[in-house]
Protein backbone atom coordinates (compact mmCIF):
# COMPACT_ATOMS: atom_id res chain seq x y z
CA UNK A 1 0.00 0.00 0.00
CA UNK A 2 1.71 3.15 -1.18
CA UNK A 3 -1.25 5.53 -1.48
CA UNK A 4 -1.85 8.03 1.28
CA UNK A 5 -5.47 8.61 2.12
CA UNK A 6 -6.24 12.15 3.15
CA UNK A 7 -8.96 12.53 5.71
CA UNK A 8 -11.07 15.66 5.69
CA UNK A 9 -10.12 18.18 8.34
CA UNK A 10 -13.00 18.74 10.74
CA UNK A 11 -14.40 22.20 10.21
CA UNK A 12 -14.54 24.35 13.29
CA UNK A 13 -17.79 26.30 13.12
CA UNK A 14 -16.92 28.56 16.05
CA UNK A 15 -17.20 32.26 15.32
CA UNK A 16 -16.69 35.24 17.60
CA UNK A 17 -19.71 37.41 18.27
CA UNK A 18 -19.85 40.98 19.48
CA UNK A 19 -22.87 40.98 21.78
CA UNK A 20 -24.85 44.13 22.59
CA UNK A 21 -26.57 44.02 25.98
CA UNK A 22 -29.32 46.31 27.16
CA UNK A 23 -30.71 45.31 30.53
CA UNK A 24 -31.63 41.64 30.25
CA UNK A 25 -31.77 41.74 26.44
CA UNK A 26 -28.79 40.51 24.45
CA UNK A 27 -28.42 40.84 20.69
CA UNK A 28 -25.60 39.71 18.44
CA UNK A 29 -24.21 42.91 16.96
CA UNK A 30 -21.78 41.29 14.52
CA UNK A 31 -19.78 38.11 13.99
CA UNK A 32 -16.13 37.52 13.07
CA UNK A 33 -13.96 34.52 12.22
CA UNK A 34 -11.40 35.38 14.92
CA UNK A 35 -11.36 36.92 18.38
CA UNK A 36 -8.99 39.75 17.46
CA UNK A 37 -11.38 41.14 14.86
CA UNK A 38 -14.29 40.87 17.30
CA UNK A 39 -12.34 42.74 19.99
CA UNK A 40 -11.49 45.51 17.50
CA UNK A 41 -15.17 45.85 16.56
CA UNK A 42 -16.19 45.95 20.23
CA UNK A 43 -13.64 48.72 20.85
CA UNK A 44 -14.95 50.68 17.86
CA UNK A 45 -18.56 50.31 19.03
CA UNK A 46 -17.64 51.47 22.54
CA UNK A 47 -15.91 54.52 21.02
CA UNK A 48 -19.06 55.32 19.03
CA UNK A 49 -21.21 55.08 22.17
CA UNK A 50 -18.78 57.37 24.01
CA UNK A 51 -18.74 59.88 21.11
CA UNK A 52 -22.54 60.02 21.02
CA UNK A 53 -23.11 59.92 24.78
CA UNK A 54 -24.59 63.45 24.80
CA UNK A 55 -27.01 62.54 22.03
CA UNK A 56 -28.02 59.34 23.82
CA UNK A 57 -28.65 61.23 27.07
CA UNK A 58 -30.71 63.96 25.37
CA UNK A 59 -32.83 61.49 23.42
CA UNK A 60 -33.32 59.26 26.48
CA UNK A 61 -31.85 56.26 24.68
CA UNK A 62 -30.34 53.50 26.83
CA UNK A 63 -26.64 52.86 26.31
CA UNK A 64 -25.78 49.34 25.14
CA UNK A 65 -22.85 47.43 26.64
CA UNK A 66 -20.70 45.31 24.36
CA UNK A 67 -18.91 42.03 24.99
CA UNK A 68 -17.25 39.33 22.92
CA UNK A 69 -18.25 35.66 23.10
CA UNK A 70 -17.73 32.53 21.02
CA UNK A 71 -20.74 31.36 19.07
CA UNK A 72 -21.41 28.48 16.71
CA UNK A 73 -22.76 29.18 13.26
CA UNK A 74 -25.76 26.95 14.06
CA UNK A 75 -26.67 29.14 17.07
CA UNK A 76 -27.20 32.26 14.94
CA UNK A 77 -30.88 33.20 14.56
CA UNK A 78 -32.13 32.60 11.01
CA UNK A 79 -33.14 36.23 10.41
CA UNK A 80 -30.00 37.68 12.05
CA UNK A 81 -28.61 40.96 10.71
CA UNK A 82 -25.73 43.10 12.04
CA UNK A 83 -26.67 45.89 14.45
CA UNK A 84 -25.80 49.54 13.90
CA UNK A 85 -22.98 50.93 16.06
CA UNK A 86 -25.23 52.37 18.76
CA UNK A 87 -27.45 49.30 18.84
CA UNK A 88 -30.74 50.86 17.81
CA UNK A 89 -32.64 52.25 14.85
CA UNK A 90 -35.57 54.65 14.98
CA UNK A 91 -35.48 54.66 18.76
CA UNK A 92 -35.80 50.89 19.21
CA UNK A 93 -33.15 48.47 20.41
CA UNK A 94 -32.89 45.90 17.69
Side by side, the strands of the sheet bearing 25-32 are: 25-32, 14-22, 65-72
- pTM across the whole model: 0.75
Q: State residue 12's pLDDT score.
A: 66
Phi-psi region of 2 (alpha: psi -120 to 50; beta: other; left: phi over 0): alpha
Q: State residue 31's pLDDT score.
A: 94
Q: Of the spans 40-44, 57-61, 76-80, which averages the highest pLDDT?
A: 40-44
Amino acid sequence: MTDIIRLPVPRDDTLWAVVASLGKTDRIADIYPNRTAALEDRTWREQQVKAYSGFLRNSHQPVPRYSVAPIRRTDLPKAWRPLPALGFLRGQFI
